[in-house]
A and B are shown apart, each in its own frame.
Chain A
Amino acid sequence: MSDLLAARSQMAVSLGFHILFAVVGIGMPLLMVVAEWRWRRSGERVYLELARRWARGTAILFAVGAVSGTVLSFELGLLWPGFMRLVGPVIGMPFSLEGFAFFTEAIFLGVYLYGWERISPRAHLLAGVLVAVSGALSGVFVVIANAWMNTPTGFTFVGGRFTAIDPVAGMLNPAAFQQTLHMTLAAYAATGFAVAGIHAFLLLPDPTNGFHRRALAIGLLVGAPAALLQPLSGDISARQVAERQPAKLAAAEALFETRAGAPLTLGGWPDMERRQTRFGLEVPKALSLLAYHDPDATVKGLDSVPRDEWPNVPAVHLAFQVMVGIGSLLALVGAWAGWEAIRRRDLASNRMLLRAIAASGPLGFIAIEAGWCVTELGRQPWIVSGVLRTADAVTPMPGLTVTFAAFSLLYCFLGVVVGWLLYTQIIRSPESSEWTRVYSPPVRARA
C-alpha cells in the first residue's frame, strides 16, 4: 500500500468513524430535550426515564465523538501538512467557530448530565436546548469547511501560494448552504430513525409497552420530517454540483458523455474500458430534468474532464445510488408513519409499519457514510477542488500503513465496545414492568 493510499484510508476510517458519533451528537440532544420537555409538561415519569436513558447513551457516544474529533483535528496536519500549510488562513475561520460551538456543547452537556439535582428544572431544560443548538452549529461549521474544499473561494492561487485571502468569502462559498442543509437534515433523519427503529424492534414482541411507544413517537417526530425534507435538499445540492463540480456529478450518475437530454441511470456498473455504464436502467431525460430542471439541458459528462482528473467512477456511482435509494426509502417510511399518526393516532398497532421502521433503523447511517463517499471520493484527485491535488498535500512521513492499521484496529475495537454497551445498557426495556401497566394505550385496552 502506498503512503498516499494509506493516508487517504486512515483519513477515511477516521472520518467514517467520527461522523457516526458527530451525527448522534447533533440528533440525540434534540430527542433528549423533547422527552424532558414532555415530562415537565405532562408529569408522566416515563418521559423522564426516556430523557435519562437517552442522556446516558448520548454521554457515551459524545465522549467517543469528542476524542475521535480531536484525532481528526490533528490528522488534518499529521496526514495533510501540505494542505493545512496553505489553507489554514482561508478556512481556519469555520474551524475556530466550530471550536467555540463544540466548547459550548461540551460545557452544557456536562451541566445536563450531572445537573439533574443541582439546578432548577428550567435551567436544566435550557442546558439541554443549548446542547442541541450548539451541537447543530458545530456540525454546520465543519461542513462549511468541507464545502470550501469542494467549491473553494476567497483567495487567488498564484505560483503555489494563496494570496488576496478573504476568509469571509471562503466561508460563504457556493456549496456551503447546500451541504450544511443536507448534512443537518441527514443527522436528524438518521438519529431519529435509528432511535425509532430500535424501539419499533422492541415493540414487535411487546406492542403495548408504553415506554417504547413514546420513544418511537419522539424518534419519528425528529426523524420523519427531516427525511421528508431531505429529497428537496438533495435536489438543491444536485443542481449546485452539476454547475460547480461536473466531474463529481458525472461520476455519481456514471455519465461518460456530455449530452443534452441526459438520462438518469439507475443501478448499473460503469465499465471504465468501454466508457459506458452497463446493466443500468435508463430514465430518459431525467438527469437533465433533475440537474437543471429542464429536460433538454446539457449535462457535462466525464469526457469534459481530463482522464487523470477523474474520480473513482464505480465507487462514486455505487455510493450515490445507495445514498439516494435509502433517502427515498426513509422519506416513504416517514410519510407512511406520518399518515398513520394522523389517521389513527397510533403508530404501534400497525405491524407492517413497525417492521418497516425497525428495518430502517441503521439505514440513515449507511446513507450518511455513502453520502460522504460521494462527496469525498467524487472530489478526487483534488483535496481542494481544481487547486491542490491530494498527492501534493500528503505528509513526507514514511510507513503510514502502520498508523492506518493501528487506527483501524483502535476504531474497530471502540466500535465493538460502544455497540456492546448500547446493546446491554441502553437498548432494552426498563427494569420495572410499571410502564407497561400504567401506560398501555387506550386502543389496546379496548381490544
Chain B
Amino acid sequence: MPELTLANALAAVLLIALNAYVVLAGADFGGGVWDLFAWGPRRQQQRDLIAHAIGPVWEANHVWLILAVVLLFTCFPTVFAQLAITLHVPLTLMLFGVVLRGSAFAFRSYGSESDVAERRWGRTFAIASLVTPILLGACVGAVAAGRVHGSAAGGFVQGFIRPWLTPFALSIGLLALCLFAFLAAVYLTLETTDAELREDFRRRALAAGLSLFPAALLTLVLAGEAPDMRAGLLFSIRGLLIQLPTALAAVTALAALGSRRYRLARVAAVAQASFIIWGWAIAQYPMMLPPETTIAGAAAPAITLQLVAGALGLGALVLLPSLAYLFRVFKAAGH
C-alpha cells in the first residue's frame, strides 16, 4: 500500500486533476471526433448537439489540464523539467491541437454566421480533436515505458523522437482516442430528448466501447517496451485488483447501453476511464518517471508541499461548489 505522505497525497491530487481532465475535457475531444465522423440523415443535428453540449463547459473542463501542469511544476519540478525536455515535440504538437481546437470552437460558436466559415472552423475543431488525444496518450506511453530521461544525449532523434514515437506509446494514444470518443458518445445520449438522435449516439457509444477491448489488448501486446508496466498490471496482486474493476465497469457500460439505461452507462463509463488512469498510476507506483524517479525523490521541499496543500483546500472550497453549480445549471436532468 502507498504510504500516506504529503508528496503521495499531492501526487494523488495531480492524478485526480488528470482524471477529471480525461473524463470531462476528454469527452469534449471525443465530441470533436464525432463531429468529424458525423454521418447519416441526422448529420447536422448530431453536430449541433455536440456544440450545444460542449459550449458552456469546455473552458472549465480545459482548466483541469492547467491545474495539473501547475501542480506538477510546483510540487514535482524536476519531473516537469524532464517531461518538458524529452517530450518537447509531442507536447508542442499537442499545444497546437489545443490552441486550434479551442479557438476554432469559439470562432464557430460566437463568430460568423456564414455556413462556409462555420464548416471550415468545424473541420479545424474536429481534426484537432482527433490528433490531440493521440499525442496526449503517446506522452503517457513514453512515461509508462520509462523513456523520459530529460537528457539530450545521443542527438535529436535519440533524445527527442525515439522516447515517444514507439508502437507502444502510439497504442496508448489510440486507446486514449477510443476512450475519449466512447465517453463523448455515452454522455451525448443524455444530452438530447430526440429518440433518433439518442439512438445514433447509443450505436456510436457501443462501437467505441467495443473498440476499447482490442485497443487495450494491443497496448498489452506491445507493452514489451514497458516490461515493468506489464508486470505491474498483469502479474501482481495490485495490478489484478485494478484490472478486475476496469473490466467490470467496461462490461457494465456496454450492458447498460445495450439495455438503454443511459445514466448507468454514464457512471460505468466514467468509472472505466478512471480505473484505467489509476491502474496506470498504481502499476508504476512509487515511480513518477520510471525507471528511476520516485514521487518522494522528485517532491519539492516540505514547506512548498504544505502550502500547496493548504491552497488546494481553500481552492476546493471555492471550486467544488462553483463546478457543481455549473453542471447543475447546464447538465441537470430533463433538458
Contacts and interface: CB of A to CB of B under 8 A. Distances in A.
Interface in A26-84: 56, 59-60, 62-64, 66-71, 73-74, 76-78, 81-82, 84
B55 interface: yes
A165 B80 CA distance: 19
Interface string B286-311: 00000000000000110110011001
A226 B285 CA distance: 52
A76 B111 contact: no
Contact of A85 (B77, B102, B308): B77
Residue among A92, A95, A97 with most chain B CB within 10 A: A92
B311 A103 contact: no
Size category of the A interface is 35 or more
Given A78-B91, A89-B304, A111-B326, 8 more contacts: A63-B103, A93-B308, A96-B71, A97-B311, A100-B315, A103-B63, A107-B319, A110-B326
B111 A95 contact: no
Interface in B84-115: 84-85, 88, 91-92, 95-96, 98-103, 105-107, 109-112
Interface of A: 56, 59-60, 62-64, 66-71, 73-74, 76-78, 81-82, 84-90, 92-93, 95-100, 102-104, 106-111, 113-115, 118-119, 165-168, 395-399, 403, 406, 410, 414, 417-418, 421, 424-425
A99 B67 contact: yes
Contacts of A67: 62, 98-99, 101-103
Interface of B: 55-57, 59-60, 62-63, 65-67, 69-71, 73-78, 80-85, 88, 91-92, 95-96, 98-103, 105-107, 109-112, 150-152, 156, 159-160, 300-301, 303-304, 307-308, 311-312, 314-315, 318-319, 322-323, 325-326, 329-330
Contacts of A114: 55-56, 330
A212 B67 CA distance: 40
B112 to A, nearest CB: 7
Contacts, number: 215
B66 A102 contact: yes
A406 B159 CA distance: 21
Contact of A425 (B56, B100, B111, B307): B111
A118 B335 CA distance: 11
Contact of B88 (A168, A395, A417): A395
A71 B107 contact: no
Nearest to B150: A81
Contact of A88 (B77, B85, B152): B77
Given A66-B59, A165-B301, A89 B74 contact: yes
B103 A95 contact: no
Contacts of B101: 67
Contacts of A418: 103
A78 B80 CA distance: 9
B330 A110 contact: yes
A115 B325 CA distance: 11
Contacts of A99: 63, 66-67, 70-71, 315
Nearest to B83: A77
Given A64-B103, A97-B315, A109 B62 contact: no
Nearest to A163: B301
B204 to A, nearest CB: 25
A106 B307 contact: no
Contacts of B80: 77, 81, 84-85, 88
Contacts of A113: 55-56
Given A70-B95, A97-B315, A119-B329, A165 B303 contact: yes
B112 A107 contact: no
Contacts of A71: 95, 98-99
A414 B78 CA distance: 33
Nearest to B82: A81
B44 to A, nearest CB: 21
A154 to B, nearest CB: 10
A417 B105 CA distance: 13
A82 B78 CA distance: 9
B75 A92 contact: yes
29 contacts: A62-B106, A67-B98, A67-B101, A70-B99, A73-B69, A77-B84, A81-B84, A81-B150, A82-B81, A84-B81, A84-B84, A88-B80, A92-B70, A92-B74, A93-B308, A97-B315, A99-B66, A100-B314, A100-B318, A103-B60, A103-B63, A107-B60, A107-B319, A110-B55, A110-B56, A110-B59, A167-B307, A396-B85, A414-B99
A84 B73 contact: yes
A59 B81 contact: no
Contacts of B85: 81, 395-397
Contact of B81 (A56, A69, A85, A166): A85
Nearest to B335: A118
Contact of B73 (A95, A97, A417): A95
A319 B37 CA distance: 50
A60 B156 contact: no
A414 B103 contact: yes
A419 to B, nearest CB: 12
B210 to A, nearest CB: 33
Nearest to B101: A67
A370 B318 CA distance: 35
B14 to A, nearest CB: 12
A145 to B, nearest CB: 11
A165 B65 CA distance: 26
Contacts of A406: 92, 96
A115 B99 contact: no
A414 B103 CA distance: 8
Contacts of B92: 78, 403, 406
A286 B22 CA distance: 58
A365 B103 CA distance: 21
Most B CB contacts (10 A, CB to CB) among A166, A396, A406 go to: A396
Contacts of B160: 397-398
